[in-house]
Amino acid sequence: MEIPAGLGRVLVIIPTYNERDNIERIAGRVREAVPSVDVLVVDDASPDGTGEAADAMAAADEQIRVLHRQGKEGLGPAYIAGFRWAAEHGYDVMVEMDADGSHQPEELPRLLSALEDADLVIGARWVPGGRVRNWPKRREALSRGANTYARVMLGIPLHDSTGGYRAFRAATLEKIGLEGVDSRGYCFQIDLALRALRQGLRVVEVPITFVERVHGTSKMSRDVMAEAALRITQWGMSDRIGKLRDPN
């Protein structure tokens, strides 16, 4: 697929921590799905050699770049570092994608096509046509519940605000601002979507198929879930208090 006219230069940002068994495969699939996009691997000093594997890929393919960070700081800071690198290098679209294969690069054309008429496109599991493969029922219920809680508590129309497969216009990230974003785990995704909606930007969800990783271990933890629950509650309560103080 060719990048839709008008979108400009596209960078797929893939944060990694101990993803040596996955990074070559996923980067290769991205390059096959949309050959004209570039790839940035943002590695948090993975002790398993992911960074070195990414460097080898970059040496063999000029459309792959690597950003090495000093240590594991969380998903949010990794993406923000990638966004800033992309802005400095003149990219017009930034795509978030997991390294573990859960986000299908073959579905990237769908996200880019939808971005022609949007400011932010989220690949969504919990919309008609979206689905998840190889998840236990408990995890599916947890994700659905978290997204329902976010939708109700924050008053947003999104069904998968935690989804991490998404495409931003550079202008979107500039408008919502990254300076005040300090979310570190998966609530980072909710944070950016909420900021975009509050700026009046067009946020669109398109269905995707999410596939549970085969290699490596998930980065989801109780701390990550607790951070998300706490921040959603704080944001929702702050919004309600603000409306009470200023009903107009």
For the chain, the structural domain boundaries read 10-245
Higher model confidence: residue 47 or residue 224? 47
Q: Which residue has the higher pLDDT, 220 or 237?
A: 237
The pairs formed by 225-231 with CB atoms below 8 angstroms and a separation of 24 or more are 225/142, 225/146, 225/185, 225/186, 227/183, 227/184, 227/185, 227/187, 228/146, 228/162, 228/185, 228/186, 228/187, 228/190, 229/146, 229/149, 231/183, 231/187, 231/190, 231/191
Q: What is the pLDDT of residues 115-124, one digit of tens each?
A: 999 999 999 9
Cβ atoms within 10 Å, residue 113 = 16
CA 114 to mean position of chain CA atoms: 16
Question: Kind of pairing, strands 120-124 and 166-169?
Answer: antiparallel
Is the pLDDT at 166 greater than 60? The verdict is yes
| Pairwise pLDDT comparison (212 vs 180), residue with the higher score | 212
Can you say whether the dihedral through the CA atoms of 75, 206, 87, 37 is positive or negative?
A: positive
SS3 128: coil
Cα–Cα distance between 246 and 248 in angstroms, integer?
5
pLDDT band at 5; cut points 50, 70, 90:
confident
Say how far apart CA 97 and CA 156 lie, in whole Å: 23
**Can you give the pLDDT at residue 226?**
67
- Fill in the amino acid letter for 200: G
Average pLDDT, the chain: 90
Condensed to tens digits (0 to 9), the pLDDT of residues 38-82 reads 999 999 999 999 999 999 999 999 999 999 999 988 889 999 999
Type of residue numbered 141 = A
What are the angstrom distances between the C-alpha of 242 and each of 36, 49, 60?
45, 48, 53
DSSP bridge pairs for 41: 14, 66
Q: Percent of the chain having pLDDT more than 90?
A: 71
The alpha carbon dihedral of 91, 43, 150, 114 has a sign of positive
Instruction: Check if the beta carbon of residue 79 is closer than 8 Å to that of residue 102.
Output: no
Q: Which CATH number fits domain 10-245: 3.90.600.10, 1.10.510.10, 3.90.550.10, 3.30.70.260?
A: 3.90.550.10
Question: What is the band of 161 on the pLDDT scale with cuts at 50, 70, 90?
Answer: very high
| From 21-35, 48-62, 121-135, 225-239, the region with the lowest mean pLDDT | 225-239
